[in-house]
């Protein structure tokens, strides 16, 4: 899913207490030594806070809670044109990529997100040939798309080159997707890129966006979904990151409502578990355009039945056909809201 530098998002980082000083912030302080990367400490004011040796993800999008990871070492911090970017070594989840104070991926659990956002749509249609990825600068979705032998063309449009460069340096097993000869990289705004795409170009569009704040805001709005639908062939599919059922049902309601107006084929919501994402789960909106029927719940192109893709990208760690179908089973509270938008 997604872009910033430093060690907090909305609360300023505070220096460690000196002997004799009183704590005025409930014990929140920084005891992690930041490596010299050309950033001064004033540039680190908008990052998720760290309490002695821990990174805590704090955001108004999940008020009243925070998920923390123990920090072994800060490996990179920088500020791109769009966001702050940080990479740190955690104690239990390997290296961690943080954008604007929000965890985008960790080495341990990235498979649960990358594999599901890719194979849920691509395994639901026979022989996908042309695929567009919007966002996904870390390269993980590219890695998964490249497992499909039928795919002939993989375009990716990522707005922030720093995310790509940092991912190639610190997450080579994720960014390996860029090494596929079928991949063409476009650095730029995904909204503008889609508007210029000829009608009916792609079999699938995968939108790997961060949360609907900052540079990703436009990727959750109705005009963007209209552009996606136009870029897809009849019976083509879209899969987009669609937030958490535990935290963002109001956002999900809007996404479902917009997609049901625009996509005249199938419209479904699926979800997966990612321990380091807020609430531990993340969802996907899957839609198809009018044309050949798409039954997202029952894959017709099972990637886990063929192991030839494992040679360059390694075995699948999370996705299988049973997980595919199970992803569309919703808890009652979410099912009630999402089904109501079908009327």
Q: Which residue ranges does the chain devote to CATH 3.40.50.150?
A: 109-341
Q: What is the pLDDT of residue 13?
A: 32
Average pLDDT on 73-83 reads 95
Q: How far is CA 10 from CA 50, 185, 218, 332, in A?
A: 12, 32, 21, 33
Q: What is the pLDDT of residue 214?
A: 57
Q: How far is CA 98 from CA 2, 27, 110, 131, 222, in A?
A: 9, 23, 13, 26, 28
Q: How confident is the model at residue 209 (pLDDT cuts 50, 70, 90)?
A: confident
Q: What is the pLDDT of residue 309?
A: 64
Which tokens belong to 37? 């990367």
Q: What is the pLDDT of residue 32?
A: 35
* 3-class secondary-structure state, position 253: helix
pTM: 0.84
Is the per-residue pLDDT at 201 higher than 70?
yes
Q: Which residue ranges does the chain devote to CATH 2.30.140.10?
A: 54-106
Q: What is the pLDDT of residues 1-36, one digit of tens each?
A: 443 333 433 332 322 333 333 333 232 223 333 334
Q: What is the pLDDT of residue 223?
A: 86
Average pLDDT on 177-199 reads 95
- Domain topology for 54-106: Spermidine Synthase; Chain: A, domain 2 (2.30.140)
What are the backbone angles phi and psi of residue 140, rounded to the nearest 5°? -65, -40
Is the per-residue pLDDT at 308 higher than 60?
yes
- Domain topology for 109-341: Rossmann fold (3.40.50)
**Long-range pairs for 92-97 at CB < 8 Å and ≥24 separation?**
93/69, 93/275, 93/276, 95/170, 95/171, 96/55, 96/69, 96/276, 97/138, 97/163, 97/166, 97/167, 97/170, 97/171
pLDDT more than 90, % of the chain = 69
- For residue 19, indicate whether it is catalytic: no
Mean pLDDT, rounded, of the chain: 84
Q: Between these two residues, 41 and 276, which has the higher pLDDT value?
A: 276
Among the listed residues 208, 254, 295, 304, the single catalytic one is 208
Q: What is the pLDDT of residue 174?
A: 97
Average pLDDT on 230-245 reads 96
Is the per-residue pLDDT at 268 higher than 90?
yes
Residue with tokens 């460690």: 16
Q: What is the dihedral of CA 63, 65, 69, 73, to 10 degrees?
A: 40
CB 116 within 8 Å of CB 140: no
Q: What is the pLDDT of residue 7?
A: 41
Q: Between these two residues, 105 and 62, which has the higher pLDDT value?
A: 105
Is the per-residue pLDDT at 228 higher than 50?
yes
């Amino acid at each position: 899913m997604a872009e910033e530098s430093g060690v907090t998002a909305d609360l300023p980082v505070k220096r460690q207490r000196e002997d004799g000083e009183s704590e005025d912030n409930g014990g929140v302080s920084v005891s992690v030594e930041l490596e010299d990367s050309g950033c001064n400490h004033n540039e680190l004011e908008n990052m998720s806070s760290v309490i002695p040796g821990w990174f805590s993800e704090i955001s108004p999008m999940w008020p009243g809670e925070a998920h923390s990871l123990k920090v072994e070492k800060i490996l990179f911090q920088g500020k791109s044109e769009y966001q702050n970017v940080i990479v740190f070594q955690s104690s239990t989840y390997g290296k961690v990529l943080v954008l604007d104070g929000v965890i985008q991926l960790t080495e341990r659990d990235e498979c649960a997100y990358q594999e599901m956002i890719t194979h849920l749509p691509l395994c639901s249609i026979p022989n996908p040939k042309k695929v567009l990825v919007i966002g996904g600068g870390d390269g993980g979705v590219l890695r998964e798309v490249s497992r499909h032998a039928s795919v002939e063309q993989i375009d990716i449009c990522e707005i922030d080159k720093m995310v790509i460069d940092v991912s190639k340096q610190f997450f080579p097993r994720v960014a390996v997707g860029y090494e596929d000869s079928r991949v063409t990289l476009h650095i730029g705004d995904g909204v503008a890129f889609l508007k210029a795409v000829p009608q009916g170009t792609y079999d699938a569009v995968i939108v790997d966006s961060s949360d609907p704040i900052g540079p990703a805001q436009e990727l959750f709005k109705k005009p963007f979904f209209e552009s996606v639908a136009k870029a897809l062939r009849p019976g083509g599919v879209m899969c987009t990151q669609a937030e958490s059922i535990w935290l963002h049902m109001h956002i999900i309601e809007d996404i479902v409502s917009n997609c049901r107006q625009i996509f005249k084929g199938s419209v479904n919501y699926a979800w997966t578990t990612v321990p380091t994402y807020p609430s531990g789960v993340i969802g996907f909106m899957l839609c198809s355009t009018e044309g050949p029927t798409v039954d997202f719940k029952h894959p017709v192109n099972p990637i886990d039945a063929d192991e030839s893709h494992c040679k360059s990208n390694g075995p699948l760690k999370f996705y299988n056909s049973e997980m595919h179908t199970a992803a569309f089973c919703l808890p009652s509270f979410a099912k009630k809201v999402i089904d109501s938008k079908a009327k």
